[in-house]
Amino acid sequence: MTDTTADFHPLSAAAQPVFDTVRALNPNEPEFHQAVHEVLHSIGPVLERHPEYTENGVLERLIEPERQIIFRVPWKDDDGKLHVNRGYRVQYNSALGPYKGGLRFHPTVNISIMKFLGFEQIFKNALTGQGIGGAKGGANFDPHGRSEAEIMRFCQSFMNELFRHIGEHTDVPAGDIGVGSREIGYMFGMYRKITNRHESGILTGKGIGWGGAQVRTEATGYGAVFFVQSMLAVHGETLEGRRVAVSGSGNVALYAIEKAQQLGARAVTASDSSGYVLDDAGIDLGLLRQIKEVERGRIVEYAKRRPGARFVEKGNVWEVPVDIAVPSATQNELSLESAQMLIANGVRAVAEGANMPSTPEAVGAFQESDVLFAPGKAANAGGVATSALEMSQNASRQRWNFASSEQKLRDIMSDIHDSAFRAAESYGTPGDYVAGANIVGFERVADAMLAQGVI
């Protein structure tokens, strides 16, 4: 990825020196630069209204992680061959509570991506109001094509180092790309064996039968759709009858499709790295789940088995005319060119199901065209919000039913929307959810940092 931050909007006099320091101390980390620049640009008006943040060095402290951990993960495959991967945990900010953020297993994982995700997590978690700090971790391990035994051995080796850095009052990891309930289970088992303690609150995303929470699996996808519903409601609109494009076919995409269709919309796409499928009749969720979750197959299989659907190899899912777009695959997947196609085809709203899936140029295009745009730190906060609910249940040894948990998620997403909407209006950028979300998250963290002194 090319670092294009030189082409970004200018920063305020207080923020520019901080960003210059970020680039100098963290060279060749474009994803991290992009995430920091977006926040610093949004909070310019906040720094003018509240000079105490600048006077007390909040920005300088905020952009530097409290702790960065890099470690080796040795493991053997089924043939006895030794492999060594690199593991990470970036514990970014704990002013509001214990570090909280997912673990990603993917070959693209590097320190820039871990820091970008951890930095974003600070504000996303603050938006939930659940009292959790920001962190991210993972490894450059690819679970695809590996046996159950190989994945188990890798997870055990990963936890053999990570365990010393986490705790239910210190850092509570969860899943992310490549890390689902299976991987969480293997890591939890290893943590329990090493420590001789059954601390249910040490990881979230656990199985329902051993400390997990209802709706945690569905939460990120459901939450993104709830956010769209709130954005539309401001304008007296609903999801009923809308065409929806979703990218990806993992956990977030599957449940975004499910909730959109439950609310009367028609999701018509899904994708993976090989291309996308278009199903104008509406995605058959049962078939898609069978292929992706059970068979762990490629998206082309959907078109082979579903009459009327077609597969577009290496195609751009955003060329499909839709009313709503939910990018749910990976960072920077939606470019300016893609945004222009969506705008030309009349897209009404875009909600980021993944973390930073839209490039800065794409975001600018949506905002200039009056497309309702929900940034990931707001739209996909449902996952971590429900993780915090799982932590609450673990701490109190309670279990909530599905309906109750979903209603709590719906309430949290509505509150995030309303808080971001009000903040954007208060600072003179009505309807700008990027600015609103960044401002709310920043002010909550910054005020806690001021209250707790220089640490």
Q: Which residues are catalytic?
A: 136
Euclidean distance between CA atoms 418 and 264, whole angstroms: 23
Packed helices 181-195 and 148-162: angle between N→C axes, nearest 10 degrees: 50
Token pair of 78 as six digits: 């089924």
Coarse DSSP helix, strand, coil percentages of the chain, rounded to the nearest 5 percent: 50, 15, 35
Q: What is the 8-class DSSP label of residue 292?
A: I
Euclidean distance between CA atoms 384 and 318, whole angstroms: 27
Packed helices 30-42 and 16-25: angle between N→C axes, nearest 10 degrees: 170
Amino acid identity at 446: A
Amino acid identity at 302: Y
Euclidean distance between CA atoms 180 and 189, whole angstroms: 14
Q: Give the angle 232-233-234 at the CA atoms, nearest 5°.
A: 90
b vs e for 293-309, b when ≥16 Cβ sit within 10 Å of the residue's Cβ? eeeeebbbbbbeebeeb
Closest alpha carbon to 123 in 445, 451, 453: 445
Say which residue the tokens 């018509």 belong to.
268
- Check: CB of residue 230 under 8 Å from CB of residue 219: no
b vs e for 357-392, b when ≥16 Cβ sit within 10 Å of the residue's Cβ? bbbbbbbbbbbeeebbbbbbbbbbbbbbbbbbbbbb
Residues 6+ apart with CB under 8 A from 435: 42, 423, 424, 427, 429
Question: Which stretches does DSSP call E strand in 279-369?
Answer: 310-313, 324-326, 349-351
Say which residue the tokens 């993944």 belong to.
354
Euclidean distance between CA atoms 266 and 240, whole angstroms: 8
Question: Which stretches does DSSP call E strand in 79-167?
Answer: 82-93, 99-105, 134-139
- Which bin fits 249, alpha (ψ -120 to 50), beta or left (φ > 0)? alpha
